[in-house]
């Protein structure tokens, strides 16, 4: 069994409560940090750990923390990104539901490192039942002296609040999230300035994913160097993977970065293989925004080595033959799944979620949805396949935020790897158009 740093105690009865969580060693990172470390020493440990942001982009967390403007007179904020809306991703929900105190603990230790006196957890509005779980955990932390004034008798004080959104994927993008937290529409901001300089209320702000903040707890407990020993190369530590689709055991799994993709899919410890004794067709390895890979490319890299569950190995081969670890939303499709249909659900999603600020994204995502809709409904044209690729190209790199790329990449990769399926869909439709014409003349 792989090492568990986050989910070690998840099956402990009552672990949602402060009492049991504390008995299992909870809040040790807060005690250690506040009583024996300077804030910058906490940041230093996170740097040494090699931890990379678990929200999708994989940016080194320690480095992000050092960018925070510490010379400014303004208050600093830590905002936890619990918006989790990337299709195929449900690990943050799992973590918050079962281990709410792990997130609260991580927020306290991280806020201390950053010098934040007020921190927020921005959670997608649909997770309202988790808001209650978190509120309760926070209440318990206050009651036990881990939040509020003079935590553990030190001169560090922190207030922590949960803030629900109201249904908008784009609010997972960090600057849209900050707009939303300020009570506005979730329109991403132009960068620079980056949140580290001017974020929430134009104050220096760090935005980190739920899992990133939770990982700070074991990092402080065991030390950054120990943490960095787990994993391969620049992919250190453990990662939560949300596994869904046509597998025997959908669910959230904590893996040591570096296990082979094949093991992840077929081992009983994880996905348990493809359901109904069917064959594997394709995998979306890191949430809806990353390129889709067919079965033959998901197991081996361009160099012919076994592909591993790491940032680098999944990306090997670039967009020609590789993909990305992304948010760890691992969607598996069996031989019966239609790639055209699946892509249609993604494109409809991005069109629905575009904030509308940039025309390439607003209009382009609409076109993608429309073309895919007619392909699946039987009104497509032969030219539609190339049109899809061309629309995707015209979105990519021309927008304020990366949602444009997120909408374009799945399209480009699906057509590249499964072109025949798209052409067949178009031909089927042409045939039926001919048939329709024939029928009409009879």
Partner 1 sequence: MSENKKIEFSIEALATAKKIMARYPEGKQKSALIPILHLAQTEFNGWLSAEVMDYVASLLSIKPIEVYEVVTFYSMFNSKPVGKCLIEVCQTSSCWLRGSDEIVAHIKNKLNINVGETSADGMFTLKTVECLGSCGTAPMLQCGADFHENLTVEKVDELLEKLRNKNERSSYLKSMITDR
With beta carbons less than 8 A apart as the criterion, state whether 75 and 69 touch: no
Binding mask 222-251 for ligand FMN (x = CB under 6 A): ------------------------------
| Least distance CB 402 / ligand SF4 (angstroms) | 7
Which residue, 23 or 184, is less far from partner 1 as judged by CB?
A: 184
239 touches 254 (CB < 8 A) = yes
Q: Does 81 bind partner 1 (CB under 8 A)?
A: no
Least Cβ distance, residue 331 to ligand SF4 (angstroms): 22
The angle subtended at Cα 94 by Cα 404 and Cα 130, nearest 5°, is 90
**Backbone φ and ψ of 431, nearest 5°:** -55, -45
Nearest CA to 426 out of 375, 391, 386 is that of 375
DSSP calls for 294-324: EHHHHSB-TTSSBPBSSHHHHHTTHHHH---
| 101 belongs to the binding site for partner 1 (CB under 8 A) | no
231 vs 294, which CB is nearer to ligand FMN?
A: 231
CB 201 to partner 1: min, Å: 6
Q: Which helix (H) or strand (E) holds 143?
A: helix 128-143
Which residue's CB comes closest to ligand SF4? 361
**Which sign does the torsion angle of CA 103, 108, 109, 114 carry?**
positive
Q: Which of 231, 250, 287, 404 binds ligand SF4 (CB under 6 A)?
A: 404
Of 385, 369, 373, 381, the residue nearest 422 (C-alpha) = 385
Shortest separation between residue 215's beta carbon and ligand FMN, angstroms: 9
Task: Considering the complex, state which of residue 53 and residue 250 has its C-beta at the smaller distance from ligand FMN.
Answer: 53
Would you say 103 and 95 are in contact if contact means Cβ atoms under 8 Å apart?
yes
Taking the complex as a whole, the smallest distance from the CB of residue 394 to ligand SF4 amounts, in Å, to 13
Strands 280-284 and 329-334: antiparallel
DSSP state, residue 235: E
Torsion 383-385-390-392 (CA) sign: positive
The whole-angstrom separation of Cα 428 and Cα 425 is 5
Q: How far apart are CA 428 and CA 133, in angstroms?
A: 51
Segment near ligand SF4 (CB under 6 A); pick from 12-20, 65-73, 77-85, 397-405: 397-405
Count of C-beta atoms within a 10 Å radius of residue 35: 11
Tell me: does residue 180 bind ligand SF4 (CB under 6 A): no
Q: Is 24 exposed, middle or buried (0-12, 13-18, 19+ CB in 10 A)?
A: middle
From candidates 182, 305, 386, 424, binder to partner 1 by CB under 8 A = 182
Return the number of the residue (294 or 360) whose C-beta is nearest ligand FMN: 360
- Give the one residue of 292, 400, 412, 426 binding ligand SF4; rule: CB under 6 A: 400
User: Minimum distance from CB of 223 to ligand FMN (Å)?
Assistant: 20
CB 25, min distance to ligand SF4, A: 42
β-pair partners for 205: 77
Quote the tokens at residue 292.
Answer: 């889709």
Question: Which of partner 1, ligand FMN, ligand SF4, none does residue 53 bind (CB under 5 to 8 Å by kind)?
Answer: ligand FMN
Please identify, using beta-carbon distances, which residue of 70 and 185 lies nearer to partner 1: 185
Binding site for ligand FMN (CB under 6 A): 53-57, 59, 61, 81, 83-86, 170, 172-174, 207-209, 212, 401-403, 406
Give contact residues for partner 1 (rule: CB under 8 A): 75, 84-90, 92-93, 118, 124-129, 131-132, 135-136, 138-139, 142-143, 148, 161, 163-169, 180-186, 201, 242-246, 250-252, 284, 288, 329, 331, 333, 337, 341-342, 345-346, 348-349, 352-353, 355
């Amino acid at each position: 069994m792989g090492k568990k740093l986050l989910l070690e105690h998840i099956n402990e009865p009552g672990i949602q409560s402060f009492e049991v969580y504390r008995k299992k060693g909870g809040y040790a990172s807060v005690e250690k940090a506040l009583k024996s470390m300077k804030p910058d020493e906490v940041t230093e440990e996170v740097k040494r750990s090699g931890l990379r942001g678990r929200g999708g982009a994989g940016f080194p967390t320690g480095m992000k923390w050092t960018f925070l403007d510490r010379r400014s007179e303004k208050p600093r904020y830590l905002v936890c990104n619990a918006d989790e809306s990337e299709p195929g991703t449900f690990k943050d929900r799992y973590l918050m539901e079962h281990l709410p105190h792990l997130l609260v603990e991580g927020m306290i230790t991280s806020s201390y490192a950053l010098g934040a006196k007020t921190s927020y957890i921005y959670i997608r509005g649909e997770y309202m039942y988790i808001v209650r779980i978190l509120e309760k955990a926070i209440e318990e932390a206050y009651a036990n002296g881990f939040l509020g004034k003079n935590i553990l008798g030190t001169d560090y004080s922190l207030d922590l609040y949960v803030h629900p959104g109201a249904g908008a994927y784009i609010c997972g993008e960090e600057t849209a999230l900050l707009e939303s937290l300020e009570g506005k529409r979730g329109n991403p901001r132009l960068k620079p300035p980056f949140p580290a300089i001017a974020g929430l209320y134009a104050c220096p702000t760090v935005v980190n994913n739920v899992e990133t903040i939770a990982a700070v707890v074991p990092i402080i407990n065991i030390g950054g160097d120990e943490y960095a020993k787990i994993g391969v190369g620049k992919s250190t530590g453990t990662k939560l993977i949300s596994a869904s689709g046509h597998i025997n055991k959908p669910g959230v799994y904590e893996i040591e970065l570096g296990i082979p993709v094949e093991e992840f899919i077929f081992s009983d410890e994880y996905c348990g293989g493809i359901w109904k004794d069917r064959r594997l067709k394709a995998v979306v390895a890191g949430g809806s925004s990353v390129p889709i890979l067919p079965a033959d490319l998901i197991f081996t890299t361009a160099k012919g080595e076994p592909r591993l569950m790491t940032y680098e190995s999944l990306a090997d081969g670039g967009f020609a033959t590789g993909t990305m670890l992304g948010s760890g939303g691992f969607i598996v499709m069996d031989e019966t799944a239609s790639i055209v249909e699946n892509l249609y659900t993604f494109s409809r999603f991005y069109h629905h979620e575009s904030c509308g600020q940039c025309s390439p994204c607003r209009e382009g995502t609409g076109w993608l949805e429309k073309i895919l809709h007619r392909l699946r409904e039987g009104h497509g044209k032969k030219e539609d396949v190339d049109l899809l690729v061309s629309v995707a190209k015209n979105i990519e790199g021309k927008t304020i935020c990366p949602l444009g790329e997120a909408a374009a990449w799945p399209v480009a990769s699906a057509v590249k790897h499964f072109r025949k399926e798209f052409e067949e869909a178009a031909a089927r439709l042409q045939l039926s158009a001919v048939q329709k014409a024939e029928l009409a003349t009879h």
